[in-house]
Structure 1
Amino acid sequence: MSNERALDEIDRDILFHLSLDGRLTNVELAKRVGLTPPPCLRRVKRLEETGVITGYRARINPTAAGRALEVIVSIEVSVSDLKTLAGLEKTIAGYDEVVDFRRMFGTPDYYLRVLVADYAAYEAFQTGKIIGIPGVARVISQPTMKKIKVID
């Protein structure tokens, strides 16, 4: 919202309720934030048009979807040329198993969040897809024991 007006308390309340349940009807959302439906809908549309709301999606239970094992992966690279790094990023970002991919300041160079069925599937992913990518120097895998707090 670079040149749009700042978010007010009602906008933040709308965002809060939609973050909890993106399927709320406009009538229900308006009731929760203390507006009538037409101005509530105008605010939601403005939040979408200005890029504050970037989309709506379903949250999937990974276990039910056959992806019960979550592994946090740290990758260190051995190169600094932009072409190799761009290739590495494009390759890794294209893998369905990778649900979060970040370039970091400092070490490690990248963090990935990977969802797979089990340890055998992760081993196949790491050895078949990550090791051998040009520029990858070190891979550190940390399987998730327990999720304490997750904000989607």
Structure 2
Amino acid sequence: MDEGGSEEREERGKRAEPQGGGTALILLTVVAAPVALGFETLLRKLLFPPEFEEIRALLHPILTPLVWGLVALTAVVGALGLVLQRRLVARAIGRIPPTHRDSARLHRAKLGAFMLAASVPQVPAILATFGFMWGSSLTPTVLAIAVATLAIGLQAFLARSTERR
């Protein structure tokens, strides 16, 4: 085959990179903590014995203040996740040789950075879910999850907005 055909195929491959590539993965990451809370609650109601509610009542005064602390921690690490994401993106792109920086590689670098940085606010939110399972109040649990979801949603927005640049 001639070189012209090869270049044309390569150019078509670059254009074929879906603009929405990774959208489902990003959306699943954003809703992971709320889904975990719903799943945990459903499993607890269906599978745990009624006596477990007595254990939850005993642990309630201990766990509720701890989960309130997780709300604050989630807010702090949510902000840190935004900073971390920017640095991870810059680092990942920096590792790609300039001659190989096509849209597909840039997309993978940005998506990978998002996935890693999104785990930062998810950790305290998931811990808050465990706190609720063992007896914490629902209010701080929902707040921790809301803060994490907001932070991850903002990270997703920033990840998608840099795709358009």
TM-score of Structure 1 vs Structure 2, range by shorter chain: under 0.3
Higher percent of residues as strand = 1
Which structure has more RCO (C-alpha within 8 Å, separation ≥ 6)?
Answer: 2
> TM-score, normalized by length of structure 2?
0.21
**TM-score after normalising by structure 1:** 0.22
